[in-house]
A and B are shown apart, each in its own frame.
Chain A
């Protein structure tokens, strides 16, 4: 009964909630923990879109987009636009993505993650006039390199 209740989609959503909660509560001693969970949130969200696409993800994108924007930037915009545009892009490109091999998909997955994080910084600069933080982008890139493979491995295990 529990295995049916806790299918991989539900487990991934629990990971989303946990990573969201940790990334919006700063720990002064471990600032990289916040960044790591922020990247993990993005990784999980992209994974959900790629492998568990469903219409409820639009609601998820709306809720998390608004909350991330208000808690991290104080104005709605950056995250909401990024999350929704990723969903729309996926729907438009789905027919091409299906044809790709698993290695190509993994590569696209990583590129999407980096582009996603970079796009958010650019949007924050354009919409909210926040200064473009190159060191933060570099930090996100390093964290992505470190956690990408283990996370994908964990997610595929969850799916099995």
Chain B
């Protein structure tokens, strides 16, 4: 690997840090501004995941030297990544429509949400008795 020119690792590192701070602040900002609906989704997705992709690109390209690596290596990684998309979308055609005509699903999203909220309230009630709360909770789940 001798011979090629290294980029400044520190520069890449500080870029990564700035991106990281944005990715944390973005969703917080959505919370503070009280955004709802599409604008909230766009802000959260672009700051959280768009920046994750950007960061991953920077690490791959400069820290892992994929920019100067022989072409095989990025092909290997891209092939694996694209198969992942095949898996995701192939499975999504089924898993995203998980409702049958001939069977009843006992699980319901509303009930699950209500359970989470009830658990949270319960949790706030006996704050500080976390051990006893833990026990009662596991009993709740076990049936």
Q: Please say whether chains A and B are actual partners in one complex.
A: no
Interface residues of A (CB under 8 A from B): none
